[in-house]
Amino acid sequence: MTDEKLHIPVLPQEVLDWLQPKTGGRYVDGTLGLGGHTELILRHSDPDGQVFGFEWDHQAAQLAQARLTKFGNRFQLISASYAQIEAKCPEQSLNGILLDLGVSSLQFDSPERGFSFMADAPLDMRMNRKLPTSAADLINSLSQEDLADIFYNYGEERQARRIARFIEEARLIQPITSTRQLAEIVWQAIPRKYQPKKIHPATKVFQALRIAVNRELDNLAKVLVDAPHFLASGARFCIITFHSLEDRMVKQAFLSNPDLRVLTKKPILPSEIEVQENPRSRSAKLRVAEKI
């Protein structure tokens, strides 16, 4: 598989339509991933538009950099969290900022990263391996109450308390260190009649843990406040989210920021064709605001 195929960028045409990259423009891609959106922005800001790409996953950053070398110094990698935009962004008065939140297919499909219960692997889930706490650390050290709060608040999991109790009982016997082990405990904890039909019963717990391990909502809250300061008047802030917690935060932050005007009253969704071709796009929502 070529690097380009390791992650298919979602809403590609919609991102171009709303971000409106132009010649000479300077953009931040806060979630570079495999560089799919960045490549589109660079192509549409020919011959001298620039992108500063933030990526905190070393493996993704290396692959993206190799893919984007053909653009020379028009692309600059920033190996840091987008939450550090204030300290790390090399330019003020940008012409646009893009965030495409969540995990990449490369991360999700690499069993050893521990994001998926489809294969047995160490329970890790850190997008950036320098983060101090893995999913296994949280599962084995947090109190039953704190675990239940994580599953409920970040996964909207209704069986959160029961699942946390089953985890507590299981870890008294032996530490929970693998994805399969955790998926099995969650499966046992949820009574059959409450098990979801369309998704694996452990889906919400895995999402919640990933959000907690990577402090995803804290990072998003910070960039929502800091990033608008880096936009020139008329420049656009485009954010793609994949679950309702993030979408709600983006919607509220856009509405309550007096420096921003909301351009998308309703979020932009992928077309049916896109969802068919790239099923992982199905929960994507794009919201856009413009700097006043």
Ligand X SMILES: C[S@@+](CC[C@H](N)C(=O)[O-])C[C@H]1O[C@@H](n2cnc3c(N)ncnc32)[C@H](O)[C@@H]1O
What residue ranges bind ligand X (CB under 6 A)?
7, 9, 31, 33-37, 54-57, 60, 81-83, 100, 102-104, 127, 219
Structure tokens belonging to residue 71? 């653009």
Q: Pick between residue 36 and residue 228 the one whose CB is nearest to ligand X.
A: 36
Q: At what angle do helices 244-256 and 216-226 cross, to 10 degrees?
A: 20
CB of 175 to ligand X, least distance (A): 27
Helices (H) and strands (E) in the chain, counts: 13, 7
Q: Pick between residue 33 and residue 201 the one whose CB is nearest to ligand X.
A: 33
CB of 135 to ligand X, least distance (A): 15
Q: State the Rg of the chain over Cα.
A: 20
Q: Pick between residue 37 and residue 74 the one whose CB is nearest to ligand X.
A: 37
CB of 239 to ligand X, least distance (A): 12
Q: Pick between residue 11 and residue 136 the one whose CB is nearest to ligand X.
A: 11
Which region, left, alpha or beta, applies to residue 93 given φ > 0 means left and ψ of -120 to 50 means alpha?
left
CB of 82 to ligand X, least distance (A): 4
**Contact indicator for 92, 103 with CB cutoff of 8 Å:** no
Q: Pick between residue 56 and residue 254 the one whose CB is nearest to ligand X.
A: 56
20: closest CA among 37, 39, 45, 50? 45
Taking CB atoms, the residue at the shortest distance from ligand X is 33
Q: At what angle do helices 203-213 and 216-226 cross, to 10 degrees?
A: 50
CA–CA separation, 273 and 292 (whole Å): 34
**Contact indicator for 156, 248 with CB cutoff of 8 Å:** no
CB of 278 to ligand X, least distance (A): 11
CB of 200 to ligand X, least distance (A): 20
CB of 189 to ligand X, least distance (A): 29
Which residue has 């890790």 as its token pair?
A: 124
Alpha helices in 125-234 (DSSP H): 135-141, 144-155, 160-173, 179-189, 203-213, 216-226
Q: Pick between residue 221 and residue 263 the one whose CB is nearest to ligand X.
A: 221
CA–CA separation, 19 and 92 (whole Å): 17
Q: Pick between residue 9 and residue 228 the one whose CB is nearest to ligand X.
A: 9
57: closest CA among 98, 11, 102, 10? 102
